[in-house]
Amino acid sequence: MKDKQPIIKAINISKSFGVTKALSKVNFDFHKGEIFSIVGANGAGKSTFIKILCGYYADYEGEIYIDGKLTKFQSPRDAYEAGIQVVHQSIEQGIVQNMSVAENLALEMIVSPEAPFIYEKKKIIQRAKEIARKMDLEYLDMEQNIQDITQSQKQMIIIARALARKPKLLILDEPTSSISDREASMLFETLYRLRDEGVSILFISHYLAEIKKISNRVGVIRDGKFGGLLYQPLEISQIVKKMVGNLQSVLERSYDKKNTKKLVLELKNLVIDGSSEPINMKIYSGEIIGLIGLIGAGKTELAETLFGIRNSISGEIKLNGKSVNFKNIHQAIKQGIHMVPENRTVNAIIPEESIKNNITLPFLNFFSKYGVLLEKNEIKASKKMIHEMGIKCEGYNALIESLSGGNQQKVVVARWLLMKHNIVILDEPFQGVDIKSRRDMSQYLMENTKESSVLMISSDIDELIDVTDRIMVMNKGRILSDERTSQIDRDKLLSLITQEG
């Protein structure tokens, strides 16, 4: 049972970036023993509010009280010392490269001012094991380099480290975007335990089913303003309506997609690694194909093979009826195969560059004449994609890092849809993207996929059912089914996705 008096109280929080008002008089309370979620469309102001709460922005308007005392954080360290722990959406921000698993788990012990001058490996490993045990991570090799483990394992390490401090307020920003359903269930059980122990938890997720499942209350930020509170029992339709208003206008599809049935991509007995079976696949023009499977099913490995990042072991890839064998990414792009990678922070975003440069970089030769860049044409193209993709920003010259996570994702997708292509591969394109932005991107794909094709890779059934023509199930390197989306049996699909052996 949560306390009646809030442990943290945020009153009239406002924040501007130049002429843009990111937040305007937002009010939220945080109680002990409660899981409180904040929702809002991409660019609504959620990330800005979180950054104020954890000391990243000191130049805001409004008041923050902790245990009834007016507080003003000047740095993230101040918030950390006050008991506010945050697990950011970007996994790479939460780990220290070239350190071991143990060192990342026991990082506080290493960087503490009280840390001994002599490196005590045994004590670090012992402490790391204690932290790992609470999240059932003892199976990890503590001496393994952090770079050699999976994204989901890195995410669980970051969360485990945050929980080790027994925080007053634990902020989780999209914590399940890179972990499996099993790991997410384990995380939820841990959050329930922490809640029952009196911890206040702020949970941010675009997966509304998760919000419905674990939240005691839900706060809404809409266009930078307080959009109301929702209480259990919750309905997803309730949350969506508070976030974006009447969804009917978002869901309407006023287009006629004509499939010319031209075979664009064909895979014949393609073996992508030593443990996988031959893959056979056909994708036609005008189609959006969904590829679904659990983490480790081989989806990303297949995408990387098609994009020239890795070589296949055997088999044939045919593009528009001709056999191709891409040795590198450049060759794949030249043949009209474009790809939005799974991890935008590491593999897609160009930090400290403008939105324009992030959109046009792979295709600068198209905006050049006699070796001279025609920036006017480049600006025109980037403005067009910003408008058509509904990217919320100050302008084409705004820095990519000034955007919300979902709008950054739109920029990455816009990059690979900018130029004519045969097929675009989208690997988990909706990670950290709210329902309205997801529909914006989906509608653009459906309206602009006539001569080309889309291969959309996801681990979320609802994402694929919403937009695809066919859905293929991949399990341990095998394609187990290929069915029209309109005829999908969800129970059968789930059975195939989770099938063992």
Return the CATH number at 176.
3.40.50.300
SS (H, E, C) 146-185: HHHCCHHHHHHHHHHHHHCCCCCEEEEECCCCCCCHHHHH
Residue 250 has pLDDT above 70, yes or no: no
Secondary structure tally for the chain: helices H, strands E: 19, 22
In the block, which residue shows the tokens 């997410």? Answer: 184
Determine the average pLDDT of the residues in 331-358: 86
Q: Which residues of 188-210 are buried (b: 16+ CB within 10 A; e: fewer)?
A: bebbeebbeebbbbbbbbbbbeb
Q: Is residue 232 part of a domain?
A: yes
Q: What is the pTM of this model?
A: 0.61
Q: Is residue 26 part of a domain?
A: yes
Q: Is residue 413 part of a domain?
A: yes
Transcribe 26-91 into DSSP letters: EEEEE-TTEEEEEE--TTSSHHHHHHHHTTS----EEEEEETTEEE--SSHHHHHHTTEEEE-S-G
CA dist 222 and 242 (Å) reads 8
Determine the average pLDDT of the residues in 50-55: 91
The lowest-confidence range among 69-78, 93-102, 420-429, 438-447 is 438-447
Q: What is the reported pLDDT for 257?
A: 45
pLDDT digits (tens, 9 = 90+) for 220-244: 998 888 999 999 998 887 887 787 6
Shared-domain flag, residues 334 and 456: yes
* Closest residue by Cα to residue 456 from 447, 446, 168, 128: 446
pLDDT digits (tens, 9 = 90+) for 157-192: 888 888 887 788 999 988 887 677 777 887 888 889
Shared-domain flag, residues 413 and 273: yes
Shared-domain flag, residues 1 and 130: no
Shared-domain flag, residues 161 and 24: no
CA dist 201 and 192 (Å) reads 10
Contacts with 75 (C-beta within 8 Å, 6 or more apart), sequence order: 55, 58
Determine the average pLDDT of the residues in 437-442: 79
Shared-domain flag, residues 424 and 371: yes
Determine the average pLDDT of the residues in 362-388: 88
Shared-domain flag, residues 70 and 219: yes
Shared-domain flag, residues 400 and 268: yes
Beta strands in 321-429 (DSSP E): 322-324, 337-340, 368-369, 372-373, 423-427
CA dist 457 and 471 (Å) reads 10
Indicate if the alpha-carbon torsion angle 249, 21, 429, 136 is positive or negative. Answer: negative
Contacts with 169 (C-beta within 8 Å, 6 or more apart), sequence order: 7, 8, 30, 53, 83, 84, 85, 199, 200, 201, 202
Residue 136 has pLDDT above 60, yes or no: yes
Domain hosting residue 145, numbered range: 95-165
Number of domains composing the chain = 3
Q: Is residue 400 part of a domain?
A: yes
In the block, which residue shows the tokens 């509170």? Answer: 229
Residue 125 has pLDDT above 80, yes or no: yes
Q: What is the reported pLDDT for 306?
A: 93
Determine the average pLDDT of the residues in 117-144: 86
pLDDT digits (tens, 9 = 90+) for 2-43: 557 899 999 999 998 776 678 899 999 999 999 999 988 767
Contacts with 316 (C-beta within 8 Å, 6 or more apart), sequence order: 266, 267, 268, 269, 270, 323
Percent share of the chain, pLDDT over 90:
36
pLDDT digits (tens, 9 = 90+) for 277-330: 899 999 999 899 999 887 667 888 899 999 999 888 899 999 999 999 898 999
* Closest residue by Cα to residue 441 from 285, 250, 303, 284: 250
Strands 217-222 and 279-284: unpaired
Shared-domain flag, residues 410 and 445: yes
Q: What is the reported pLDDT for 432?
A: 66
Shared-domain flag, residues 137 and 175: no
Determine the average pLDDT of the residues in 126-131: 90
Q: Is residue 426 part of a domain?
A: yes
pLDDT digits (tens, 9 = 90+) for 406-417: 788 889 999 998
Band of residue 351 on the pLDDT scale cut at 50, 70, 90: confident
